[in-house]
Amino acid sequence: MQRLFSSFANGWPGAGLLIQRLLVGIGLLYLAVECLSRIPVCRSAVPQGIGAAAGILLVAGLWTPLAGVLAAFVEMWIAVSASDNASVPVVLAVLALTLAMIGPGAWSVDARLYGRKRFDMPER
């Protein structure tokens, strides 16, 4: 995973990535819950469920490149198959794809698992 990113952004850029991850992940989860709570269940229940799983991974910042690409693919699937307003899935797809390209930031599980480790030398 570390080979995918030169560094995990910290400071203001890291905070921006955290906010973007939270907004995209919560948006994916909201759309899935809204779809699955309808009676009858909406036509895009399967892609919405996959999008919700990707949203959980994005919120945590775990496997961000994979989750971002998966979320972008699923949201484009929903946008193409939806007969009504497709603007929200398209926006979520674009934002998820940018997360896949930029990375999760320093405040993520990916950074904790795959980020550079600092080893301090013991003093003599």
Is 5 inside a domain boundary?
Answer: no
Which pLDDT score, from 0 to 100, does residue 108 have? 87
- Cα separation, 114 vs 85, in Å, equals 39
Fill in the amino acid letter for 65: P
Is 17 inside a domain boundary?
Answer: no
Structure tokens at 27: 């948006």
pLDDT tier for residue 121 given thresholds of 50, 70 and 90:
low
Could you list the residue range(s) of the whole structural domain that residue 51 is in? 30-114
Structurally, the chain folds into a number of domains equal to: 1
Is 123 inside a domain boundary?
Answer: no
Higher pLDDT, 42 or 30: 30
Is 10 inside a domain boundary?
Answer: no
Region 30-59: mean pLDDT is 90
Determine how many CB atoms are found less than 10 A away from the CB of residue 51: 30
pTM of the entire predicted model: 0.84
pLDDT tier for residue 105 given thresholds of 50, 70 and 90:
confident
pLDDT at 56 over 90: yes
Is 87 inside a domain boundary?
Answer: yes
Which pLDDT score, from 0 to 100, does residue 115 have? 75
Is 23 inside a domain boundary?
Answer: no
Tokens 């995973």 belong to 1
Region 104-110: mean pLDDT is 85
Fill in the amino acid letter for 44: S
- Cα separation, 8 vs 58, in Å, equals 15
The CA distances from residue 33 to 42, 49, 113, in Å, are 11, 9, 30
Is 1 inside a domain boundary?
Answer: no
- pLDDT, one tens digit per residue, over 59-94 is 999 999 999 999 999 999 999 987 678 889 999 999
Is 22 inside a domain boundary?
Answer: no
